[in-house]
A and B are shown apart, each in its own frame.
Chain A
Amino acid sequence: QSVLTQPPSVSGAPGQRVTISCTGSSSNLGAGYDVHWYQQLPGTAPKLLIYDNNNRPSGVPDRFSGSKSGTSASLAITGLQAEDEADYFCQSYDTRLSGSQVFGGGTKLTVL
């Protein structure tokens, strides 16, 4: 059971918009800690996709965006492309256990 809750899967047709939710609690997202998102393509290591709730690292297309409010966060992908098919994970910090980083269970995005 992951500390951050994500839907196991989402899907969309090319060109469509999809969102992936990440729900936490008062000890992580609700305490004001930032959320970060990672994309994991099949057979590769995770890669930073969105940091500090809504910032894109250099090289990440602006089709990817993030938001956070209270104990929840969302990743939105617009203009869906076949190469976006991957696993997506949210991550934050939790105060319940000192120094503890926490991840969501991951969401598999299928491009139909």
Chain B
Amino acid sequence: QVQLVQSGAEVKKPGASVKVSCKASGYGFTSYDINWVRQATGQGLEWMGWMNPKSGNTGYAQKFQGRVTMTRNTSINTAYMELSSLRSEDTAVYYCARVSAIYCTGGACHGGLFDPWGQGTLVTVSS
């Protein structure tokens, strides 16, 4: 079945970086975008950005530009999200999700529904 399995929980100090992995199985990894979303405890869902595994193209939410990098390794069907210069406000559960981008203009496609989601990775930033 289609599945996304994320790496385990992380504890980081302020100023450090964290890299979360998301391994895909059950479908063609390069046929769908991977998006990243985070959720602080008791809060809503916050979209961070997208990556096209086939081209490696990315797009980041303005809030995270300059601090987030999304990459992939197609040989092992795995996507990565690295967030740098961590601060306490970055403490959250980070999710990856498969997205079928459907709104296309100028050869680039965006939007679409999130299905499935990874199980989430708790990142705690604390001194």
Interface residues of A (CB under 8 A from B): 2, 33-34, 36, 38, 45-48, 51-52, 57, 89, 91-93, 97-106
Q: How far is the CA of A103 from the CA of B50 in the complex (A)?
A: 15
Q: Given A36-B114, A45-B119, A48-B113, decide whether A93 and B95 contact each other with a Cβ distance below 8 A.
A: no
Return chain A residues, CB-CB under 8 Å to B99: 101
User: Closest CB of chain B to A106's CB: distance in Å?
Assistant: 4
- B45 and A89: CB pair below 8 A? yes
Interface residues of B (CB under 8 A from A): 35, 37, 44-47, 50, 59, 61-62, 95, 99, 103, 108, 110-120
Residue of B103, B110, B111 contacting most chain A CB atoms (<10 Å): B111
Interface of B is mostly: strand
Q: How far is the CA of A97 from the CA of B117 in the complex (A)?
A: 23
- A91 and B114: CB pair below 8 A? yes
Residue of A45, A57, A98 contacting most chain B CB atoms (<10 Å): A45
User: Closest CB of chain A to B94's CB: distance in Å?
Assistant: 11
Q: How far is the CA of A55 from the CA of B126 in the complex (A)?
A: 42
- B117 and A93: CB pair below 8 A? no
User: Closest CB of chain A to B33's CB: distance in Å?
Assistant: 10
Return chain A residues, CB-CB under 8 Å to B50: 99, 101
Return chain B residues, CB-CB under 8 Å to A100: 47, 59, 61, 110
Return chain B residues, CB-CB under 8 Å to A93: 103, 110-112
Q: How far is the CA of A68 from the CA of B75 in the complex (A)?
A: 41
Q: How far is the CA of A64 from the CA of B102 in the complex (A)?
A: 24
Please name 11 pairs of A and B residues whose Cβ atoms are closer than 8 Å in the assembled complex, sorted by A: A33-B111, A36-B113, A45-B119, A46-B95, A51-B113, A51-B115, A98-B110, A99-B108, A103-B37, A103-B47, A104-B44
* Residue of A91, A97, A98, A99 touching B113 (CB-CB under 8 A): A91
- B115 and A101: CB pair below 8 A? no
Q: How far is the CA of A92 from the CA of B113 in the complex (A)?
A: 8
- A38 and B114: CB pair below 8 A? yes
Q: Which residue of A lies closest to B6 (CB)?
A: A45
Q: Which residue of B lies closest to A4 (CB)?
A: B44
